[in-house]
Amino acid sequence: MAAKATKPVYDESKIKTLSSLEHIRLRTGMYIGRKGNGSQYEDGIYVLVKEIVDNAIDEFIMGHGSKVDITIQDNLVTVRDFGRGIPLGKVVECVSRINTGAKYNDDVFQFSVGLNGVGTKAVNALSCNFLVRSYREGKSVEATFEKGVITGETKPRLPDEKNGTYVEFVPDPEIFGEYNFREEHLEQRMQLYAYLNAGLKIVYNGETFSSKDGLVDFVLKETHFERLYQPLAHREKTLEIAFTHTNQFSETYYSFVNGQYTTDGGTHLSAFREGLLKGVNEFAKKRFEGADVREGIFGTISVRIKEPVFESQTKNKLGNSELRGELVTQVRDVVVDLLHKNPKVAEKLITKIEETQKIRKELQSVKKMARERAKSVSIRIPQLKDCKKHLDKAKGKGKESMIFITEGQSAAGTLVSCRDAHTQAIFTLKGKPLNVCEQKRDVLYKNVELYNLMRALNIEDAPDRLRYQHVILATDADVDGLHIRNLMITYFLRFFGSLVEDGHLHILETPLFKVRNKKETIYCYSEEERDEAIKKLGRSNEITRFKGLGEISPHEFKDFIGPNMKLTPVRIEGDQIAEVLTFYMGKNTQERRTYITDNLITDEELS
């Protein structure tokens, strides 16, 4: 008879006390958020870079050093600033001992983002190799570490070196696994540093990033194609704002605290939005609604405060509630002053708001008709096969939920028969959806299919009420399927850009070929993979070309939407999305035809 399992004993022996170093390496998320592999902007390896660069920026803010040199090659990161340099007698402590640093002292660092003495220590602990060198008045101290443990300390003689600090490190693969730095994420960060610190020169891998006019330059770049007027901007020591309106339907904001990009906003952002509304209404002597004032706005705010309170070590959201009232008043007064000083811009801004107000009122009757029409047809959405679990951001639930947007009954039938009904929903398009590239918002209510899709996703009133974590375009890999895919991407970018920006929209990658023999079956997602499979399996094999999703059996398809599902996220790259949409999806047929003709690749060029 088997022995009865004993319950684990909970006593004093089970209590552990971790050192600071052990805690950082064991509970990494508390210090840098997500680990990731470098594919996403907020992945941990970029947070490590940011923590070191932040220290260099703090020196610039305090008036020491106007240049930062940064290199990243083969996962080795180096950062050299030309500030005051770490005091030579405290170099080791400042990079390895938690709660040690000069940023508790307002006389030395008034507007630092790193106030807890953790950042550089976390980088050190999470790096397989870490080196720091401080230069002060012709003297220097160097210390080296491995996984946060000191391996050496020297005092090299480098009399010609200018004051400042040099740091190099390699993120530890034991923590981050296989990772790669992506240039687009790094360049975006460097450019943001430049915009936030006018006059600072950042040299990254030989390329210089700098800005003369700060956030104005940022707004000009990001709204290159669609801005309705030149940005209005204000800059002083503790507050900088810049904003304009665009033809987009959504609101776009970038907020910063002491140079830190607060991706989740916080007190300063809510104060900016309220102050903007109050300023516009005071200037216009009207009572516009907030939604009318803010539709299409592209706004930025940067504040510098002495004691920022963030909701986590990753500093994504500011929580200083005591600042809000004063900041709302300050922004209101700035906006009123800017509008008075720029009457032509003010006229364009008020005209834009009045047009938005008019369209909103017209839409109310269109929405009412659409809702009554939907009720008369069916209480439920006819094209939706729903799942049981849904996304609830407020409660942090349903992050595994997804909806497949597919074409035709055949593909939908395949998906329905092999899906996980708990987490996977299906919306079936009846044909090619309407091209909405140059349509107004009322088309969302007048077109039955687009309205039903909006209802299915629960984004009619606000994109942040999305019912599914992943919105997946599952179309055939032929010309018609790609066209439908582009039409749907246009739909989301045109009316629900934030849904794309937040990483919810994906493309389902399904195999084009199946290569098999009696012993093995290989699914191939490209012609190159097919050729490799043929070589591997030898001559005695069978090759199947899948022309559409409906041709793949439910038994096979289950593997492609299971744990090993291949999803390609739809990303917004660059600053000319509206221009790209207009070129590829607009009414400029002749221009596109000319472009295609001029860029055809001949058989000779291919060979």
pLDDT attached to residue 101: 52
CA–CA distance from 39 to each of 42, 72, 392 (Å)?
9, 16, 25
pLDDT attached to residue 463: 79
pLDDT band at 22 (very low <50, low <70, confident <90, very high): confident
Put residue 141 in one of left, alpha, beta given phi > 0 → left and psi -120 to 50 → alpha.
beta
pLDDT attached to residue 109: 38
Tokens read off for 198:
């006018």
Q: Are 267 and 249 in contact (CB under 8 A)?
A: no
Percent of the chain residues past pLDDT 90, beyond the cut: 44
Q: Which residue in the block uniquely carries the two structure tokens 């009572």?
A: 287
Q: Which residue in the block uniquely carries the two structure tokens 């994109």?
A: 463
In terms of pTM, does the model score above 0.75? no
Report, as an integer, the average pLDDT of 554-572.
86
Following DSSP, what letter does each residue of 26-45 receive, concatenated?
Answer: HSTHHHHS----SSSTT-HH
Q: Which of 102, 63, 108, 112 is nearest to 83 (CA)?
A: 63
Q: What angle separates helix 215-222 from helix 183-196, to the nearest 10 degrees?
A: 140
CA–CA distance from 121 to each of 29, 77, 148, 152, 257 (Å)?
14, 16, 8, 16, 21
pLDDT band at 115 (very low <50, low <70, confident <90, very high): very low
Helix-, strand-, coil-residue percentages of the chain, each rounded to 5: 40, 20, 40
pLDDT attached to residue 392: 87
Following DSSP, what letter does each residue of 96-146 receive, concatenated?
Answer: HSTT-SSTT-TTT-SS-S--SS-HHHHHHHTEEEEEEEEEETTEEEEEEEE
pLDDT tens string 250-293: 888 999 988 888 888 899 999 999 999 999 999 999 999 999 99
pLDDT attached to residue 218: 93
pLDDT(571) > 50: yes
Q: Does residue 193 or residue 31 have the better pLDDT?
A: 193
Q: Considering only 43-52, 95-104, 499-508, 542-551, which range has the smallest mean pLDDT?
A: 95-104
pLDDT attached to residue 187: 93
Q: Are 231 and 244 in contact (CB under 8 A)?
A: yes
In one-letter notation, the amino acid at residue 605 is: E
Q: Does residue 371 or residue 152 have the better pLDDT?
A: 152
Torsion over CA of 336, 338, 340 and 344, rounded to 10 degrees?
-130
Q: Which residue in the block uniquely carries the two structure tokens 């009322």?
A: 442
Which DSSP state fits 88? G
pLDDT(54) > 80: yes
pLDDT(156) > 80: yes
Q: What angle separates helix 479-495 from helix 577-585, to the nearest 10 degrees?
A: 140
pLDDT attached to residue 292: 92
pLDDT(583) > 70: no
570 vs 438: CA distance, rounded Å: 21
In one-letter notation, the amino acid at residue 416 is: V
Which DSSP state fits 335? H
Report, as an integer, the average pLDDT of 432-451.
86
Most confident option among 69-73, 226-230, 316-320, 366-370: 69-73
Q: Does residue 448 or residue 597 have the better pLDDT?
A: 448
Report, as an integer, the average pLDDT of 458-487.
87
pLDDT attached to residue 351: 94
Residue 420 DSSP SS3:
coil
| Domains along the chain with CATH numbers | 21-209 (3.30.565.10), 215-356 (3.30.230.10), 378-510+559-598 (3.40.50.670)
pLDDT(8) > 80: no
pLDDT attached to residue 113: 46
Q: Which of 389, 393, 473 is nearest to 428 (CA)?
A: 473
Q: Which of 129, 64, 138 is nearest to 95 (CA)?
A: 129
pLDDT attached to residue 170: 97
Which DSSP state fits 553? -
Q: Average model confidence (pLDDT) for the chain?
A: 85
pLDDT attached to residue 270: 94
pLDDT attached to residue 278: 97
CA–CA distance from 440 to each of 248, 375, 436, 498 (Å)?
10, 24, 8, 18
Q: Which of 423, 427, 342, 350 is nearest to 384 (CA)?
A: 427
Q: Does residue 314 or residue 350 have the better pLDDT?
A: 350
Report, as an integer, the average pLDDT of 152-170.
91
pLDDT attached to residue 600: 61
C-alpha atoms less than 13 angstroms from C-alpha of 48 in its C-beta half-sphere: 36
CA–CA distance from 433 to each of 175, 248, 477, 481, 539 (Å)?
45, 21, 17, 11, 43
